[in-house]
Structure 1
């Protein structure tokens, strides 16, 4: 397609950057993993953001339960069993003999403290703003190994939600975020050198199977070609988010990563507050032309922000067609009614959010221009991008669309919808009472009723609200050194399972 810039092979300059070093093997007790960007927080209550989670979750900190990557079922971690006592009460039996990295004992009181901290509005914890949003949880330590959690509304999948609450030491400060987390995981934090690396070392007192590799370093590089080359030269053993044009060797493993890429439309600012303009924006994007060029050839066109594996996915919503003629007609009709369709719209992108993230927006910007939009592209580093993603925003802000991804490895729509599509959601650009009620009612329902209402919510977002331009259910690539045993799975975007890595 002539709108999409060809992506060049690795340049001479890149060859000079990585040098001509021959492949080298790391020391048997050391591992280096290279990711796209630096975590923004290493506080246990901030693992709802994937950039933080991949370093923290099940490496430094752990939750009461985990979710199986195979089917999303709830499996034991720091809790060994759980049961529903009544409609508003759940009881968890906790693992004995577990200690935090600072020597303090893991017990029910530690979970009480972590849950209270995670919901503290003054801390603005990501788990409180996302997974635990809209529900008040009160925990009680019945005894050191028995925990009861009461909810203010019916919460039929509370155990699933507990997979997002990483438990930090009771010594974690309550008056601010920590940069020195102490968890119960197989690794403890050795150092966080801002702008350079996070270094972990195996925790000798870990309750479970000990990791095969004692020392792990996580570093970040923005360019896919650089990350891939680092594995070839032995500077790293695992590299994530390799671009399709770079992932062409036998060491590159492609897998669905539970992420859905999209453009979030700020539907509260003219001209994007007019539904015709938002529909035109979707019709102007040639998704077929993007697959196999900028995006992986196996990426699936999306109409909603969860993949088909998620409970509540609606299979009856058709994907947007590419129809620039209709897009122009909608803009013309809106302009005739006084909508300022010529006003500049800023496309905010995030550098390295996924491979070819800049190239994808350059192509989309050209498509929007062809349809009659006045769009300007602005690529941001992660910190300024997060300020565009999360509330509070400036009241007098420019009309904009934001490049983002939404992942759902938990298997239920409740982990996606409330924070992003309700009026008080921390990432929501829409205020719609009907949608709020749909999501709230679905969240407290069970079985077929829950599924039906979530499906209706997704249909409403796609057909009535149109406050997103969904792109693709994503496929990503990881490059793994030849002498390393590491099996990537659907959770790899949120969790680097360091304990499972070994050398051959």
Structure 2
């Protein structure tokens, strides 16, 4: 494909690295819990994908670990009015193959996002309110929005910038195969073995501060025990998703440093509360039910009351997390204040099932990931035990994350567990709970096609309300409705833990659940 010169680029990067004296080279080896689901920067908005790809590709602006906006390819920006934002681009930036970065590349990137096929989690919400990207001059871009957009900076910080000349016809296969892995970021692509490892090298021509690592190898180690063992043996320098049971042990290790942060991440269950019949529900003799019990809010309330969230966090996760009281994590702007903890009440749950016409319960299967977040499979087993106690015999099936997400998007499940990370409460609802609508970009992660018109109306208002206090109040009301209706059933707010070789690496924990070289700092 024209413009794909990264095979030569990869060889050049290796030759440049070989020219560095061995003693002066700094190699970072990361043990990651899961692999990217695809290397196209516009394919799947997931924590692992975004964390890895931001090493090779750039954004116009970004959020730092404390939640503040920082310049990247845009050196400055301003709101001209409620519907127009202007961004001033950096001068002299080049893609890794030498192609100049131009204003037209920004317009191309935002136009490309909705065209990426078969995405299990598209970036479309970040671009749907943008009516036009205007190239004012070679260094100035203006975004025109259809309505007032108080969260435009957040949306701009979500989309990686590609090159019109390099990536005009690039497919997911081109990115996965490395041919299209040409960005403007601090590291250059060398190689990628799908589901196994990614290798990158420092970009000597990066527009920003020079990165301290000459070479970075990210190894995918899904087994939590194997990740901890790799760190203790010195095979890797940093690991993510430290299992909760290993945290105390690693904290006692003199050669290991442990870094944790409360994440902007909620684990949740999404029931199929829409279809008249659903595939993984039967009576206790294994016969399909003639109607879907999850359509009844009383059944969803019973399921929620059958989850001992406090017990999950305290006993199963050793305190690494917080039981959920709503969908939005504690740090998120606009979350509903004063909500009581979601109750654990097995007796009331059984009564609700009887009221809904299921006094004897039924059978159900819950699907979920293995190795997506610390203790995920164990959490599902604990939930299944709780539901069995209230009369719903529950089976657990765990899948590799990529397989889970693609099948969930195809609506193959009755019930599945996953997580979502966001920087503000309205975005949690816009992405996961709002009615799925390709034209407006809402609900791309609403994989069960749940719909709540009264909540939709509030979220839509919040997304265009410029006054912060009014917007937060509207968002809080929407979150209360989501908590009442339980189109998603929140479980807990994650606490994330990384561990490093103390003598080599200090890690900067990021509440967005990012693991990469840019957050790994040499000790000396």
- Shorter-chain TM-score: which interval? 0.7 to 0.9
1:305 has 2:299 as partner: no
Q: Distance in 2 between matches of 1:352 and 1:474?
A: 14
Partner of 1:284: 306
Contact 2:48–2:515, Cα closer than 8 Å, also in 1: no
* Aligned residue runs from structure 1 range 32-431, under 5 A: 32-46=29-43, 48-57=45-54, 59-70=55-66, 72-120=67-115, 122=117, 124=119, 126-132=121-127, 134-170=128-164, 171-174=166-169, 176-177=171-172, 178-179=174-175, 180-248=180-248, 249-250=250-251, 251-269=257-275, 270-335=292-357, 342-390=361-409, 392-393=410-411, 400-408=414-422, 410=423, 412-424=424-436, 425-428=443-446, 429=448, 430-431=450-451
Contact 2:77–2:85, Cα closer than 8 Å, also in 1: yes
Q: Relative to structure 1, is the Cα distance of residues 121 and 200 closer, same or farther in structure 2, using a 3 angstrom cutoff?
A: closer
Q: Distance in 2 between matches of 1:292 and 1:122?
A: 42
Q: 1:414 deviation in Å?
A: 3.3
Q: Relative to structure 1, is the Cα distance of residues 49 and 214 closer, same or farther in structure 2, using a 3 angstrom cutoff?
A: same
Q: 1:181 deviation in Å?
A: 2.0
Q: Relative to structure 1, is the Cα distance of residues 368 and 501 closer, same or farther in structure 2, using a 3 angstrom cutoff?
A: same
Contact 1:301–1:471, Cα closer than 8 Å, also in 2: yes
Contact 2:34–2:371, Cα closer than 8 Å, also in 1: yes
Q: 1:477 deviation in Å?
A: 1.5
Q: Distance in 2 between matches of 1:103 and 1:341?
A: 68
Q: 1:341 deviation in Å?
A: 7.1
1:475 has 2:487 as partner: no
Contact 1:271–1:340, Cα closer than 8 Å, also in 2: no
Q: Distance in 1 between matches of 2:169 and 2:149?
A: 26
Q: 1:264 deviation in Å?
A: 1.7
Q: Relative to structure 1, is the Cα distance of residues 175 and 482 closer, same or farther in structure 2, using a 3 angstrom cutoff?
A: closer
Partner of 1:31: 28
Contact 1:389–1:402, Cα closer than 8 Å, also in 2: yes
Q: 1:150 deviation in Å?
A: 1.0
Partner of 2:17: none
Q: Distance in 2 between matches of 1:37 and 1:417?
A: 25
1:438 has 2:435 as partner: no
Contact 2:42–2:116, Cα closer than 8 Å, also in 1: no
Aligned residues: 465
Secondary structure of the residue that 2:343 maps to in structure 1?
A: coil
Contact 2:32–2:515, Cα closer than 8 Å, also in 1: no
Does 325-334 or 118-127 show the bigger shift?
A: 118-127
Q: 1:89 deviation in Å?
A: 1.3
Q: Distance in 2 between matches of 1:298 and 1:128?
A: 30
Q: Distance in 2 between matches of 1:125 and 1:370?
A: 34
Contact 2:191–2:198, Cα closer than 8 Å, also in 1: yes
Q: 1:156 deviation in Å?
A: 1.8
Q: 1:190 deviation in Å?
A: 0.5
Q: Could you list the per-position Cα deviations for residues 291-342 of structure 1 after superposition, in whole angstroms to 9, with x for gaps in the alignment? A: 232224141111222222211111222121211011011111111xxx6974
Q: Distance in 2 between matches of 1:257 and 1:327?
A: 30
The structure in which a higher percent of residues are helix is 2
Q: 1:364 deviation in Å?
A: 1.1
Contact 2:103–2:138, Cα closer than 8 Å, also in 1: yes
Q: 1:96 deviation in Å?
A: 0.9
Partner of 2:15: none
Q: Relative to structure 1, is the Cα distance of residues 124 and 356 closer, same or farther in structure 2, using a 3 angstrom cutoff?
A: closer
Q: Distance in 2 between matches of 1:423 and 1:286?
A: 29
Secondary structure of the residue that 2:398 maps to in structure 1?
A: strand
Q: Distance in 2 between matches of 1:216 and 1:385?
A: 28
Secondary structure of the residue that 1:384 maps to in structure 2?
A: helix
Does 120-129 or 188-197 show the bigger shift?
A: 120-129
Q: 1:370 deviation in Å?
A: 0.4
Q: Could you list the per-position Cα deviations for residues 346-391 of structure 1 after superposition, in whole angstroms to 9, with x for gaps in the alignment? A: 211101111221111111111100001122111111122102432x
Q: 1:203 deviation in Å?
A: 1.1
Consecutive unaligned residues in structure 1, runs of 5 or more: 1-25
Partner of 2:280: none
TM-score (norm 1): 0.87
Q: Distance in 1 between matches of 2:493 and 2:24?
A: 37
Q: 1:100 deviation in Å?
A: 0.8
Partner of 1:18: none
Consecutive unaligned residues in structure 2, runs of 5 or more: 1-22, 252-256, 276-291, 437-442
